[in-house]
Chain A
């Protein structure tokens, strides 16, 4: 343990630039799969509250399965199963990055669907009617009355999901995506310095996720004022 500073002093100029370079891939995976999760989450939140029973059942089934599967298993299923199920199609475009983003997106979509649903359900119909009857346009009532109320419910859990997602990108190394974790593994074993490298990588993940969690806490504080 005492040698760690000496090890860092000797190697950090080689390790850090490379690890930071692959952190960009990690952030890219997180960002794209977050956007995909939001899109999938919106669709399934609407299906989940649909008046058509079949659509509702479909949404519930999807949410249960995508949330019940370990993320690694979901990643393996998304990345390895479709090409074998439909071998007649062309799968050359389906690389590990795409597989990772789709897998994380499907998982996040299920989580955000429930978050969005609770946001939508919290909006009482009377709120909109009251706003319109006060002379607001529908757009104004959306911007000043409905959205602020929904945001209060949706933003903190969506932010917490984003933090979890950032950490979950490390699982993409298991299907072979060249991101931070995968690069850390190759450096650690090439240089025989697992302790030093993995502790450094932990610090890099922390540096990325901690500001996010501070932001979520700030949001929780700000959005809670009127409660």
Chain B
């Protein structure tokens, strides 16, 4: 059978089977983004600490996670952590791995966003008797959010695309199902192309959104 015939006869079956993995893909992506949003802020604040040692540790963390492949990080967590007494499930490993990776990038986005807000804002808040954390929470971050939103959207797209590697630690998402289906039916052309279309249906609208947010930000400035 030719490619088009395969697509006509089995395309719908392939598509519905692969879509079965979409909830797992989305769950890992959302988990990793949430993890990175929280942990990235912690790293960003440590990175701006007045203690030199804390700053250095935060820099080492960021450089290490940005300087090594996400796949290696996932393998250290999934296959390596059992050696030190913690056996994560595939989902936990995927979310922690991609989340730690994303937090290194997010901490730099936060830092750039926070530094884009004039120092006077922080000083004014402190002089009104706010604690540094309250000033950060109520004065600086709300203003920085507009600058940070486009890069955060872009990072979310990257994390969503990175979920396509988590089958390597056993998460049954779109790509894992695609590989299984190919083993079963040997129709690699149709199956991987359909998988590609599924990813594009998510990433292209997201990157449109990121571009729009960026234009709005520039118009606002």
Chain A residues at the B interface, C-beta cutoff of 8 Å = 1, 64-65, 67-74, 76-77, 80-81, 84-85, 163, 167-168, 170-171, 173-174, 181, 184-185, 188, 193-196, 198-199, 201-202, 205-206, 209-210, 213
Contact = CB atoms under 8 A, between A and B. Distances in A.
Interface residues of B, number: 40
Given A68-B199, A69-B200, A80-B188, A181 B81 contact: no
Contacts of A209: 67-68
Contacts of B188: 76, 80-81, 84
Interface stretch (B31-39, B46-54, B134-142, B159-167): B159-167
B67 A210 contact: yes
B69 interface: yes
Contact of B199 (A69, A167, A210): A69
B165 A194 contact: no
Given A80-B188, A163-B67, 13 more contacts: A1-B84, A64-B204, A68-B200, A69-B161, A69-B196, A69-B200, A76-B175, A76-B195, A77-B192, A80-B189, A184-B72, A196-B83, A206-B64
Contacts of B61: none
Nearest to A26: B69
Contacts of A64: 200, 204, 207
A26 to B, nearest CB: 10
B189 A170 contact: no
Contacts of A85: 3, 189
Interface of B: 3, 63-64, 66-73, 75-76, 79-84, 161-165, 168, 175, 178, 182, 187-189, 192-193, 195-196, 199-200, 203-204, 207
Contacts, number: 123
Contacts of A76: 175, 178, 188, 192, 195
A173 to B, nearest CB: 7
Given A69-B200, A84-B3, A199 B69 contact: no
A73 B192 contact: yes
Which among B64, B80, B207 has the highest number of chain A CB atoms within 10 Å?
Answer: B80
B167 to A, nearest CB: 8
20 contacts: A69-B161, A69-B196, A70-B175, A72-B175, A76-B192, A77-B192, A77-B196, A84-B3, A84-B187, A84-B188, A85-B3, A168-B69, A174-B71, A181-B71, A184-B72, A194-B79, A195-B76, A195-B84, A205-B67, A206-B64
A188 to B, nearest CB: 7
A188 B80 CA distance: 9
A11 to B, nearest CB: 14
A97 to B, nearest CB: 18
Contacts of A201: 72
A206 B3 contact: no
Given A194-B79, A195-B84, A210-B63, A84 B189 contact: yes
B3 to A, nearest CB: 6
Nearest to A209: B67
Given A68-B199, A206-B68, A77 B73 contact: no
A194 B182 CA distance: 29
Given A70-B161, A171-B165, A80 B83 contact: no
Q: What 9 pairs between A and B have smallest CB-CB spacing?
A: A195-B80, A70-B164, A194-B79, A170-B69, A84-B189, A70-B161, A80-B188, A195-B83, A68-B203
Nearest to B188: A80
